[in-house]
Amino acid sequence: VRLLSAAWLLARGEAYILERMQDLQRRCDGDERAFLEPGRAAELLDQRFGIVAISYGWLSKRHPDPTGFHMRTVQRYLKSHLLWVKGEHLDDVGVFWDFASLPQDAPDGIEKTAEERRAFKRGLHAIGLLYGDPRTMVIQLTKVPEAPQSTDGSGANLAPYEMRGWCFFEATVSGLEKESSMLLDLGLGTAELELERANWNAVREASTSKRRPPLRPEDMAEELQKRTFTNSSDADVVAEKYASFFREVAAAAQTLDFTNYNRGQGWGDTEVMQLSRALPSFTACKKLCLCYHKKLGEKGLEHLHSSIMQMPALEKLELPIHLAKTKEGKALISDWQAAGKQVGWLHVGH
């Protein structure tokens, strides 16, 4: 995996069309540094906000952004991001953009070489880390152009973000351990981004995504079958990648903070029922936060109640205030006490 330099990308200007990794490597072999050095990339992964991973749908089969539609959004965001991280003593951040960060087939259809295929496969092993690590910022490019964007004859792809298999995987992985404000839907923050000097905090507040609940691997595989892939064989690859990442996180995560900071109403019973099926896998979890999910009702809480009783390590639970005096809320409090857990660490009222 090669990470682009955000500063280099901004210096290209808004007319720049993203180049594939192999072409960039050949062209930027001298003084022009499109990519971060591996050591610097590793350092930035250890820093909050040090890496920006882009989640988006390709707009044509051979080139993901043939006319620069996504490029303009990314550059506007990176400009505000770099202004902010200067306060964190960073003058640059790494950008993961698949077309430039992993080996790709040539525009004329010539496939990757054997070594490039091996490098691509190795790069896929890092996908979960790049999108799922709590310290990386994930930006979702959910808007698509109204008119076809293909200029290479391969046909335009204007499928909605939420119906694309890779996008669904990236969004779900990003929601496992990150706090909500580290996953930004830039389609929500369009007005703030278009300001001449976009304020990063304002962009972040407007763009905080409605994160997806974690899914059991079986549920993820089922959801992926409903979504589109440019290469149909990718569905099995993505399902396997998710299962591996989910098992790793579920075995180690001690805190699950799903507090809703999005401007919407948050999760309802459907999302919480999905969450409830996944929760018993989180065997090390000590704290679960579900504050400000205003649509969560008694039906969802009933499923949540059953799952919580299957989490032996759980010590602290925070739920929305409107559930405090419901029948199911009172039943949960009673069972929590009966299980020998500290009543002071069950907060139904946030």
Angle, vertex CA 302, rays to CA 283 and CA 249, nearest 5: 25
CA distance 60 to 144: 12
* Tokens of residue 347, six digits: 């907060």
Query: Taking the complete model, does pTM exceed 0.85, yes or no?
Result: yes
- Per-residue burial over 121-143, b if 16 or more Cβ lie within 10 Å, else e, is eebeeebbbbbbbeebbbbbbbb
- Please give the radius of gyration of the chain, using alpha carbons only, rounded to the nearest integer: 21
Confidence at residue 320, expressed as pLDDT on a 0 to 100 scale: 86
Q: Would you say 291 and 260 are in contact if contact means Cβ atoms under 8 Å apart?
A: yes
Confidence at residue 319, expressed as pLDDT on a 0 to 100 scale: 87
CA distance 2 to 21: 8
Phi–psi pair at 62, nearest 5 degrees: -95, -25
Q: How confident is the prediction along the chain (350 residues), in pLDDT tens digits per residue?
A: 999 999 999 999 999 999 999 999 988 765 568 999 999 999 999 999 999 999 999 999 889 999 999 999 999 999 999 999 987 789 999 999 999 999 999 888 788 899 999 999 999 999 999 999 999 999 999 999 987 655 555 668 899 999 999 999 999 999 999 988 899 999 999 999 998 888 999 999 999 988 899 999 999 999 999 999 988 789 999 999 999 999 999 999 999 999 998 878 899 999 999 999 999 999 999 999 998 898 989 899 999 999 999 998 999 999 888 887 788 888 988 888 888 887 666 676 54
Angle, vertex CA 19, rays to CA 15 and CA 25, nearest 5: 130
Confidence at residue 89, expressed as pLDDT on a 0 to 100 scale: 84
CA distance 230 to 236: 13
280 three-class SS: helix
Strand 4-5 vs strand 94-96: parallel, antiparallel, or unpaired?
antiparallel
Confidence at residue 73, expressed as pLDDT on a 0 to 100 scale: 97
CA distance 172 to 195: 30
Q: Cα(first)–Cα(last) distance of the chain, in Å?
A: 42
Compute the Cα dihedral for 34, 38, 40, 46 and give only its sign. Answer: positive
